[in-house]
Amino acid sequence: MSHDPAVFPEDLPIPVDDGAADHLVGLSVPAIALPATIGGSVNLGDRGRAKRLVVFAYPRTGRPGVPLPTAWDTIPGARGCTPEACSFRDLSEQFAALDTDIFGLSTQDPDYQLEAATRLHLRYALLSDAELRLTAALRLPTLSVDGMTLLRRLTLIIDDGRVEHVIYPVFPPDGAATDVLAVLLR
């Protein structure tokens, strides 16, 4: 069955906070270089300490006409990666005005991410943690489906190399960027 990744089903299950991200606030971000859709790699643990970073982690972007993973629409928090990415794209100028860089993070490989970044006209880099190095180092919450280890949707606000704030779970996904801006403007 094909789908449109930008359209939510009517009965999308709402994720609940299971405590899997409670340990993140205050952690130092490790110096791990991740492949980026802007070319080369990005090391979130060594990004100009004067700039605040927003890193939104998501399970996986879909492609129009390509089947979803098994029971995808029944997994709380799984669906909505494309609308979430587009919400950050559409509000990217507001983040820039706050001197804040945006990054998307998933376990998808760099080529898959590059296709999504190009198709969605993203103005920020998607980072690939296909080797699960950052995921393991920070003990980010994950889920498994169809043999894939995927990140659960969460947003990290990083300041001076440390996780300052975590939004987890993120729902609805298309409101993620607005929710982050509200935190930054407090």
The model's pLDDT over 27-73, given as tens digits with 9 standing for 90+, comes to: 999 999 999 999 999 999 986 555 899 999 999 998 888 888 999 99
Q: Domain ranges for the chain, please list them.
A: 33-63+70-184
Q: Which residues contact 186 (CB under 8 A, 6 or more apart)?
A: none
- Give the 3-state secondary structure of residue 121: coil
Q: Report yes or no: 169 and 16 within 8 Å, Cβ to Cβ.
A: yes
What's the pTM?
Answer: 0.94
CATH assignment of 33-63+70-184, given 3.40.640.10, 3.40.30.10, 1.10.10.10, 3.10.150.10?
Answer: 3.40.30.10
Burial class (CB in 10 A: 0-12, 13-18, 19+), 10: exposed
Banded pLDDT at 12 (limits 50, 70, 90)? confident
What pLDDT shows up at residue 11?
A: 81
pLDDT tens, position by position, 107-145 = 999 999 999 999 999 999 999 999 999 999 999 999 999
Question: How far is residue 161's CA from residue 26's CA, in Å, rounded to a whole number?
Answer: 9
